[in-house]
Amino acid sequence: MLPPVINIFEKAARKAGRIIIRDFGEIENLQIQSKSLGDFVTNCDLNVEKNLIETLKYYYPSAAFITEESGLIEGSGSEETIVIDPIDGTSNFIHGIPHVAIVICKIIDNQITDGIIYNPILNEFFWASKGKGSWCNNKRLRVSKREKLSNCLIGTGIPFGDNVTEEYFNQIQSISKEIAGLRRLGAASIDLAYVASGKLDGFWEKDLNLWDVSSGVLIIREAGGKVTEPNGKDWSLESRDILASNLIIHNKLKENLTLQ
């Protein structure tokens, strides 16, 4: 049985997910705006976010909301904060690539207590509640047990525009020499869910927002993995950079990422 908060999040996500399913592949009918180079928002993003907020406000009328498109919506005294990303992987969505996700999490006293990552195209529903493990479609998740980097697949997010730096290319070079392969799925939430599932052995990326990673952090930790910043510092709600992996290879990845 799902915890009550996850039941609510699933209801909201599946309802809004029908909008994504309807619009997926209808590229010529999407209204697309560019927020910056390589960063897009569609009318589907806006409709999904509106739908999610309407549903979740019914259950959490006094909560604050942090959303990708609307920003901060102040609450009325509640200590709960709901974080929403209506479509993580908008560029994938625009191009008909099925790595997209709705992300919802709940934060109380600066602690992520519950979170979901829902890919409506592939019907993958990842969720975790603190102390209750991590799950996908009723299957318990565990991070991989691979010990050698040479056997590992590692995910990352390739920067674009002004975010492209020499440091990143140095990290790519350092990591790529040690691992079985590098993957770029185009949606950080999906990457993190795949680390929790053992499909990827690790993932790192810089300059991410809370709504990109909040649920994934909890899902990985509940699946037995480790999350820090790439330099090894503790990950917090204010962190912009992330390194996630199984416990065995975490320090090895950190060492390769900090070799500059």
Per-residue pLDDT reduced to its tens digit, 54-91:
999 999 999 999 998 888 999 987 789 999 999 999 88
Which pLDDT does position 37 carry in this prediction?
40
Which pLDDT does position 33 carry in this prediction?
60
Which pLDDT does position 27 carry in this prediction?
64
With left for phi above 0 and alpha for psi between -120 and 50, is residue 58 left, alpha or beta? alpha
Residues 2-41: pLDDT tens digits? Answer: 999 999 999 999 999 999 998 887 766 665 565 544 445 6
pTM recorded for the entire structure? 0.93
Identify the segments of the chain with pLDDT beneath 50.
36-39
Which pLDDT does position 91 carry in this prediction?
87
Give CA–CA dist 42/20, Å, rounded.
11
**Nearest Cα to Cα of residue 189 among 165, 217, 164, 162:** 217
What structural domains does the chain harbor? 4-140 (3.30.540.10), 149-257 (3.40.190.80)
Pairing state of beta strands 64-67 and 80-88? parallel
Which pLDDT does position 29 carry in this prediction?
60
Which pLDDT does position 25 carry in this prediction?
74
Tell me phi and psi for residue 69, to 5 degrees: -90, -35
